[in-house]
């Protein structure tokens, strides 16, 4: 076997191994991302656009200058129902004070989501995470999860699980202002 042939074979082998490595990295990336810790306070809030159940479109970046409270919930989630009244109460108190409330239904059926909004008297904009595109950006691993964004579009606080009291939510809103 000549030296040239040997070199050619080694090149093919390196190429194959390299391709395999690249493939493994591509396949592993989503898994690594999924295992990454959730968004931390101080990081920039990922921008998104969603359409609420009334048909209005909301883009996060269009609310710069306001504190934004984003609540991920689902009708099948009992703790979400527990905090629904707290969120609505906060909306009634701070909704007129440059605080925007957005509710995003996570992996929920539309009919049940609408019924939930009606049943718990939620009046701030709520809509589905169509195509499950927003929740992965926020590393939502379960519901409820609430993200409070400051007027500069930076994540001020993350609440995993339900709020136990209105005061708890109020404190986070006031800190973000």
Partner 1 sequence: MPVSRQTELKSKLLPFLLPPAVLPALLLALLLLFMAVPIHAASAQEATPPPDDAVNAVAAQIYCPVCDGVTLDACETKACEQWREDIRDRLAAGWTEEEILGYFAEQYGDQVLAAPPPRGFSLLIYIVPAAGIVTGAFFLTRSIWRWRTQGQEEARTSIRVPNQEAKTADGKHDAEHTGE
Which span sits near partner 1 by CB under 8 A: 46-54, 63-71, 100-108, 165-173? 100-108
Q: Give the burial class of 35: count Cβ atoms within 10 A of its Cβ; 0-12 exposed, 13-18 middle, 19 or more buried.
A: exposed
Which span sits near partner 1 by CB under 8 A: 26-34, 93-101, 149-157, 165-173? 26-34
Neighbours of 99 (CB within 10 A): 22
175 phi and psi, to 5 degrees?
A: -65, -35
- Return the number of the residue (27 or 37) whose C-beta is nearest partner 1: 27
CB of 33 to partner 1, least distance (A): 12
How far is Cα of residue 128 from the mean position of the Cα atoms in its chain?
A: 12
Q: Which of 52, 88, 108, 150 binds partner 1 (CB under 8 A)?
A: 108
Residues in contact with partner 1 by the rule CB under 8 A: 16, 23, 26-27, 30, 74-77, 106-112, 128, 130-133, 142
């Amino acid at each position: 076997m000549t030296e040239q042939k040997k070199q050619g074979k080694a090149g093919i082998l390196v190429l194959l191994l390299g391709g395999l490595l690249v493939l493994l990295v591509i396949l592993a990336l989503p898994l690594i991302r999924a295992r990454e810790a959730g968004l931390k306070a101080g990081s920039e809030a990922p921008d998104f656009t969603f359409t609420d159940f009334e048909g209005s479109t909301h883009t996060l970046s269009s609310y710069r200058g306001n504190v934004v409270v984003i609540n991920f919930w689902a009708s099948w989630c009992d703790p979400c129902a527990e905090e629904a009244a707290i969120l609505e109460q906060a909306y009634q108190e701070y909704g007129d004070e440059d605080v925007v409330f957005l509710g995003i239904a996570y992996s929920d059926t539309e009919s049940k989501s609408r019924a939930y909004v009606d049943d718990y008297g939620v009046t701030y904009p709520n809509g589905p995470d169509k195509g499950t595109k927003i929740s992965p950006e926020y590393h939502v691993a379960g519901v409820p999860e609430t993200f409070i964004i400051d007027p500069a579009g930076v994540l001020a606080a993350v609440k995993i699980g339900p709020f136990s009291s209105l005061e708890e939510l109020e404190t986070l809103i006031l800190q973000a202002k």
